Amino acid sequence: MEDTFAYFLDQLINGLTLGSIYGLIAIGYTMVYGIIGMINFAHGEIFMIGSFLALIAILLFGVTGSWVPLALISVLLVVMVLSMLLTAAYGWTLERVAYRPLRGSPRLAALITAIGMSIFLQNYVQLLQSARIKPLQPIVVGSIEVLREGDYVVSLSYMQILIMVLMVVLMLIFSQIIGRTALGRAQRACEQDRDMAALIGINVDRTISLTFVMGAALASVAGMMFLLYYGVIDFFIGFLAGIKAFTAAVLGGIGSLPGAMLGGILIGLIEAFWSGYFTVEYKDVAAFSILVLVLIFRPTGLLGKPDIEKV
């Protein structure tokens, strides 16, 4: 069975779905690094908080898979917006309390603070929600048969379609925001030279805060999709997902939004195919090995651009 095209296609779909989730988280890493040159290692916990907020909202609304499609879509959209707003507030607070006071400090201080905030948020959620795994019954059910090869059927679930479509739509929206709006121009100016951006009237503090807010909102969408797709979360899911998303951002070229999405897709595909054709225990080893090989031959990542210091 493992040698058939149907099995290959099945792993391809799984990899694209997982990679879409990684890519949404990775955008937050790459946006923050692009502007202030700092890795926000607490970003994985923002993703985790987004998934918990989505779970709480779903339970409060009493959403089940038996709802009619129009009502289900409407309520899930409301849940997503609420989750984005509340998680964005966490992102803003994180930047304001933990990172802004250290902006002029050595990078090591900011790095230690980021790791400390990651541990704090993990324990914060553990104390509020307990360490038990939180399950959720399937809500978005149903699938489309893509291919049948003997007794093996390849199906594309509606949940997988939702995740991949949402990834593409959000990628296009945020690319337009960064490429065509005043906020995007301010972000690009701060990325090039924060001091000069402040001199020409850009509010650097507000721009950086909004960048954290945007990254947190995307992470909350990824958290909600993770919850709906896997149906189980706990306070520790943000750690490994954050590491994978950071790897995706570096692989694609940290500082590049398309690179973050490409890196996420590649990490998802590597994990899916390695788990399907070899052994699931070493899928993380395979992903990090590919990262090392890419960085040996292309240190800036697949779509990253080398820093050019002007004299």
Element (H, E) at 291: helix 283-297
Residue 302 lies in a domain: no
Split at pLDDT 50, 70, 90, the class of 288 is confident
**Average pLDDT of 129-152?**
90
**CA atoms of 289 and 172, how far apart (whole Å):** 30
> Which has more confidence, 150 or 87?
87
Residue 94 lies in a domain: yes
Assign 133 to helix, strand or coil: coil
Q: Is the pLDDT of residue 311 over 50?
A: no
pLDDT digits (tens, 9 = 90+) for 67-80: 888 899 999 999 99
How many structural domains is the chain composed of?
A: 1
Q: Is the pLDDT of residue 174 over 80?
A: yes
Residue 306 lies in a domain: no
How much of the chain, in percent, has pLDDT values that exceed 90?
Answer: 60
Residue 303 lies in a domain: no
Structural tokens at position 218:
């995307």
pLDDT digits (tens, 9 = 90+) for 206-221: 999 999 999 999 999 9
Q: What is the pLDDT of residue 111?
A: 86
pLDDT digits (tens, 9 = 90+) for 180-194: 899 989 988 988 888
**CA atoms of 294 and 264, how far apart (whole Å):** 14
Q: What is the pLDDT of residue 309?
A: 52
Q: What is the pLDDT of residue 300?
A: 86
**Average pLDDT of 294-308?**
80
Q: What is the pLDDT of residue 104?
A: 79
Q: What is the pLDDT of residue 306?
A: 66
Mean pLDDT of the chain: 90
Q: What is the pLDDT of residue 308?
A: 54
Residue 309 lies in a domain: no
pLDDT digits (tens, 9 = 90+) for 35-73: 777 788 899 999 999 999 999 999 999 998 888 888 999
Split at pLDDT 50, 70, 90, the class of 1 is very low
Split at pLDDT 50, 70, 90, the class of 31 is confident
Q: What is the pLDDT of residue 35?
A: 79
How much of the chain, in percent, has pLDDT values that exceed 70?
Answer: 97
Residue 239 lies in a domain: yes
Residue 304 lies in a domain: no
Element (H, E) at 145: strand 143-149
Instruction: Residue 29: give the domain boundaries.
Output: 5-297
**Average pLDDT of 243-255?**
89
Residue 3 — φ and ψ, nearest 5°? -100, 0
**CA atoms of 12 and 7, how far apart (whole Å):** 9
- Compute and round to an integer the Cα radius of gyration of the chain: 20
**CA atoms of 130 and 251, how far apart (whole Å):** 35
Residue 157 lies in a domain: yes
CATH assignment of the domain containing 84: 1.10.3470
